Structure 1
Amino acid sequence: MKTIKEFINKKQKTRSPEAPDMNSRDSMDVVHILFFSPKLNATGYYRMLLPCLELAKTSNFKTHVIGLSKEDFNAPFELAKVPLLDDWVLWADYMVFPILTKDFMYFFKACKVINPELQIVMDVDLVLHTLSPQDPLHKKTTDEMLTAFGDNLNLVDIITAHNDYILDFYQEFLEKHYDNRSIFFAHIPNLISLIGYQEIEPTMPKDKDKLRIGMLVNQRYAKDLELVLEPLQKIQEKYKDKISLIVFGWNGLLQDGSKPLDTLAIEYHKSVPFTNHLKKLSTLHLDIALLPIQNKASRRFASDMHYLELVSLGIPVIASKNSIFNEYIIEGKIGNLVQGASQWQQTIEKYIENESHRKAIGKAAKEHIWDVYSYDDQNIQLFTELYF
């Protein structure tokens, strides 16, 4: 993450505004992409910061970032504080925005006046209109915000997402509520980059005699872990001191004060800033990772980030069947997809008992993910096809 940290530090500390090079506008072989206010979280990293830095390495793209925002999309950037904004709008062929829940209609129209050829892109990483009432984000999302978000989507030229379910939902949503069939929808997958692994060095675990079983989760999706509660209770009773259970990203406490995993002996690790996330994950020395997802309509829109991160480090993954992970896991070769408590227990026990099997799965998954989901020529072509 060294490059990302230096990039953010430069953006935050530079006092003199950076002016665009308008001479490069003369080339028909170069596309200019302006990334507008990436969030300083994992979504901002995968959906804006990495594309900005990786595309800039090629000869076909010029990229720039304006503004960096807090993690909360409820606290959007302030346009008045963006220096040389008109110049950058004129420089850009495309402006890429995160989810916007404040009215940007007049801003979008002003941008089109400044640069009539400009194409406005919004990258959508979740479906705000289907949030569960139990989701902490649901309480923060007002009807006014949903209306503004829908109105903003209706005005963009392109909508991108990492997930086809998200694209299908909002294509139907815009046709139904706005009778809009002119927007182009594009699937741009989350991709991994060596940039994220620059500061990771091999270390030795403290308890080498214990097999470490990990789960990555945050407050929003903590209830997914209830799917593995029963099998983990039986496994912990069976293997006792031979295993350790680790949860990364959550403290074990739900908003209602309950502790659903209280019957398990768990080593909890709180979340860290995204710039330290991969390094922290590597130091947990996980031997196996579990990614349970409840089989609900709203969870079809789940992110694949945790899976990419785990297998990129060679950690074998057991995940819920009938989830987004069906698109990534080749059953029995680079992971396992399971359903029901008995399948979870049987598969976890197989990984525990068979060291060569789990290591082979982890190795194959790591090779596969770096081959298919990194910024290679084939995936750069996805951006080329979209923007040229």
Structure 2
Amino acid sequence: MSPLSRFTLFRPILPGSTLGQRLRACLGATIGIGLTGLACALLAGQGPHGLWLVPPMGASAVLLFVVPTSPMSQPWPVIGGNAVSALVGFAVAQVVGEPALAAGLAVGLAIAAMSLLRCLHPPGGAAALVGLFAAPSATLWFPLAPVGVNALLMVAAAVAYHRLNGTAYPHRAIAATPPQAAPPESRPSFSAQDVDAALDELGQSFDISRDDLERLLRAIEKRALARAYQDLACRDLMTKDVISVGEDASRQVVAALLASHDFRSLPVIDREHRIAGVIGQRELAGTGTYARDLMTAAATTTPDAPALGLIEQFARGRVHAVYVLDAERRLLGVVTEADWLAVLTRGLEMPAGATPDAPRHTASTISR
């Protein structure tokens, strides 16, 4: 925590921000506004000492350099929101003579136009007033130049600044992993539909995109789950009574064991009781007579390894069982998807702050 952030007055309002980020945002806004003003003045033929900059750019700078991930800070909202709103204000000035009524209509209609065109941008409200007040002395090109040109240059400055700063802009939300992409025991406890339903229930707008919100919630849930299970080791989950076959076991023996116990796979053990591989229905489809000819590499771990780390192995592919080995690669036990599902189910049902218990192991649960 930064020194200033310990004081309430200096604590950033937006979550995830730091003092260093705010200072860099100040520098970015300084450079962005300065370069935009200078470029616009030169384009207008006013020379380097002229200023051809509209006030809403100051508000746009706050969004562009402080909260670049906001949906209202993206290029189209910045450019479209400012230009469209200035055009609305300019148009209102042509038909409404009462200043107070015209100001209200300009801002209200600008919000409606930005919403319809998917370019909602808070400084657009100010841009509408700028277009309204500039109308008596400006031409129809005013919403495009200087307002549109200002916004375009501000976006270009923001893109350059964030690239130099190592920040991704324009921001593209990374979609959260859908629940069906992971095995049942590692699936999040909420769905994308739950996020939408919760937003509808709250009935409020938040300055974060829908995808970013779901991604944040899933990251929080993952950390909460890791904290709940961080002390659980593989030895706490493993089944010790593991049915295995030797390297010389025939295809027929392996097939009979798999069928009789309804297992997905069996470990193949050498004469020193070290694991040599794994064999299941998929391997039986290959060519070969004995287990040593058919087996594939087994997913393995150690007794002291965190049990939570096994979820990644289950999620990576067609791994249904991870075998626990000692330092000599001798088979001690197995942890299956069924074991993790049993623990996770108990964990979701227990009170907050409680520690999940390991399941009671029986031979009927191994390698299923």
> Larger helix proportion, structure 1 or 2?
2
TM-score bucket (shorter structure): under 0.3
TM-score normalised to structure 2 length: 0.24
The structure having more radius of gyration, on CA atoms, is 2
> Larger strand proportion, structure 1 or 2?
1
TM-score normalised to structure 1 length: 0.23
